[in-house]
Amino acid sequence: MRIAVLLDHRWESGVKTFSIGVLLSFLKLKELLKLSLGDTEIDFYVMTFGPNDNVEYFKVDFNELYELYKNRDIKKIIELANKENYASISKQIRLDDILEGLDNSDFVFITNVGFAVYNNSLDKEDLDRILSNNRKRTYMLMFHTDYAGNFLYNLIEFINSGKLKSISETTKNKIYSLLSKKIKQGYMTDEDQRELMRIIEYLSNSNTEEAIEFRNEYSWWLDEVRKYIYTFGKLTRLKNVINLFPTHIVSDSNSRFIKNVIGSNIKKKEILHEPMFMILLNKYYKEEIEVYKNAYLEEHYKDNKINLLYVGRNSKEKGIDDLIRLFEDLVKGGEDIRLIIVSPDFGKDTEEYKKLEEIVSKYGRGEVHIYSNALGNSLHEYPLYYIALLKALGEKPTIYINPAYTESYGLSTLEALIFGKLLVIYRDVDGLSELKERGYLNYQTAFRTYEDLVKLTKKIIEEIKEDIRNGRYDKIENEEIKNGKYDKYVNRGAIERLEKEVDPEELAEKYKEIIYLAREYEKIIHNESESKYNNNSEAQSEEIEAVA
């Protein structure tokens, strides 16, 4: 058995975080497969950006990582993956080497369905070769986001950037209307998705002034959309592909989108939690985290000031404007609250930083704490600090806010739930809606519009103030209170279950099942195709697939 894993490490984002979790799952998987299928060869390939924005490919020494894993040296593994991009244990290879490696594998896992996008070294022919239909192997591909929603937010950002001087009111209204419908409904209907594609097609092909201007500014984006669509088209034609989604909502939205654009649909779908590497850090380095937690509590968060915590990129689609507006409205209304921002890109030169400075100085109250790579105090470089901060805030009056307009999975939200058991106020959209339906997020703390967000936050702040007056946060020696047993907004039971479900070592069992089933399925297909009576293989394949 030979498994190849292609990791997309080109961006510091959820895609990379996912791939680190996948690495830990595959290390456990090697152990599991050894017991059931004998020795399994696992090849790890990584793609990153080179110095000139070209994509470079590397082969990682998986056995080296496995040696570390046997000692449960999780910190070292994560450091190699996260900080180094595996540099010291990988060697640069050519794209052809990867193509050959994938050709010779029985099972190929690609951690990002967008692996071919932004990729100027990978041609259409290479993509065809990677996703070939020769049935020799099975593919598993991860969809991270709701692509229709994503494209819509891209368009909104382009309009808001001010670069499109000729954009007509009609086009603007069409796009804004799709956004408000999505916010209202929590998802995009088939008709809305088709309308979105009509707008994109119009901007791609029309000779109107606004479309020409759009192409001049954003032809790279149109090219990107085309590449996605080409990849989706390939996936609909392949039978031996397992399409992996983090939530049912993302699965449903993408499936409908692909059907609406391509005309046919992807076949096999699996909904599986994303493995969270921080779970293993929390499992194996509890003592060290405790020291850091106490440091945060004793110095920075000793008082009982109400904290609003935001974790995420500094970007419009993550709802950063709503967050700042909320902070301003609360401070303006007399609340002396503390906004804590954990974000990779929140430097002093950003518009948002300046706005926060202005708010605090204008009203003479409120406080902002920022942890950011751009300010030299990142918590994610050494993630134990981040886990410790969440745990510390879990013992203090803290509200986690997720105002994102699009969220495929909500990894940071899940981290806040698991490590801090925090009360989460979230926009009821996409993956977050599903987390609510599955019971991890409390249904009373969901909102859709900004007005609802303000109303809800004010209501909860009043309740927390009452709790503070009643000594809720002073009685931390009382374990039951400390652990939030009486918090009506935190679904503790579900969160404890969730902690196991996102554990990379537990998820390895699921991957094993998928690989095992795929292998059995391929055997059936193989036997059938060798049959001399197989004169209608397509029909028979469908039949076998249905049985399987």
Partner 1 sequence: MALDDVVKNGLIGLSMDTNLGQQVYTATINALANAAAAFMQQFSIQLDPNINKSLGYIINGFNIYSARNNINSLQLYTDMVNMYKQNISQNNTSNIYLLSRLLIENYKKLGYPDPITGKREYATRQERETAQNIANMIGELLGQSLTQYYNSIGRTDVTLSQIMININEYASAFYGAYKGAIDQIGAHILLLTPDISLLKSATGLMSTLDEMYISSIQGLISALYSKLPIPEALSPILNALGQKEVYNNIFDEMTRKIRNYIGQQVSQPNIQQPVPVPIQQNQPVAQPIQQVNQPNILPQQPGNQLQQNQQNNQFQQQFQLIVPPPHVIRPY
Using CB under 8 A, list all residues that contact partner 1: 9-13, 46, 48-51, 53, 56, 58, 61, 64, 67-68, 70-71, 73, 76, 83-90, 92, 291-292, 295-296, 298-300, 340, 344-345, 347, 353, 356-357, 360-361, 363-379, 385, 388-389
Selection from 525, 526, 520 nearest residue 541 by Cα: 525
Q: Which residue in the block uniquely carries the two structure tokens 């009056």?
A: 397
What's the closest the beta carbon of residue 278 comes to partner 1, in angstroms? 16
What does the H/E/C string look like for 209-220? HHHHHHHHHHHH
Task: Please return the burial class of 169, using the count of CB atoms within 10 Å of its CB with bins 0-12, 13-18 and 19+.
Answer: exposed
Q: Which residue in the block uniquely carries the two structure tokens 């994503």?
A: 150
Tokens of 59: 């082969």
Between 38 and 51, CB nearer to partner 1? 51
The β-bridge partners of 505 are: none
Distance CA 514, CA 120 (A): 32
What's the closest the beta carbon of residue 248 comes to partner 1, in angstroms? 29
What does the H/E/C string look like for 296-330? HHHHHCCCCCCEEEEECCCCHHHCHHHHHHHHHHH
Between 72 and 488, CB nearer to partner 1? 72
What's the closest the beta carbon of residue 358 comes to partner 1, in angstroms? 10
What's the closest the beta carbon of residue 45 comes to partner 1, in angstroms? 11
What's the closest the beta carbon of residue 8 comes to partner 1, in angstroms? 11
Between 238 and 404, CB nearer to partner 1? 404
Between 90 and 243, CB nearer to partner 1? 90
Between 367 and 462, CB nearer to partner 1? 367
The β-bridge partners of 8 are: 47
- Backbone φ and ψ for 249, nearest 5 degrees, come out as -65, -40
Indicate the Cα dihedral angle 175, 180, 184, 187, nearest 10°.
30
Between 385 and 447, CB nearer to partner 1? 385
What's the closest the beta carbon of residue 301 comes to partner 1, in angstroms? 9
Between 162 and 364, CB nearer to partner 1? 364
Query: 430, 149 in Cβ contact below 8 A?
Result: yes
Distance CA 388, CA 278 (A): 11
Between 235 and 342, CB nearer to partner 1? 342
- Backbone φ and ψ for 368, nearest 5 degrees, come out as -125, 130
Q: Which residue in the block uniquely carries the two structure tokens 């990129």?
A: 313
Helix (H, G, I), strand (E, B) or coil at 537: helix
Query: 408, 250 in Cβ contact below 8 A?
Result: yes
What's the closest the beta carbon of residue 498 comes to partner 1, in angstroms? 26
Distance CA 221, CA 139 (A): 27
Query: 417, 410 in Cβ contact below 8 A?
Result: no
What's the closest the beta carbon of residue 114 comes to partner 1, in angstroms? 13
Between 26 and 292, CB nearer to partner 1? 292
What's the closest the beta carbon of residue 126 comes to partner 1, in angstroms? 19
Between 365 and 482, CB nearer to partner 1? 365
What's the closest the beta carbon of residue 50 comes to partner 1, in angstroms? 5
Distance CA 341, CA 356 (A): 11
Name residues whose C-beta falls within 8 Å of residue 410's C-beta, 6 or more positions apart in sequence.
402, 404, 426, 431, 432, 435
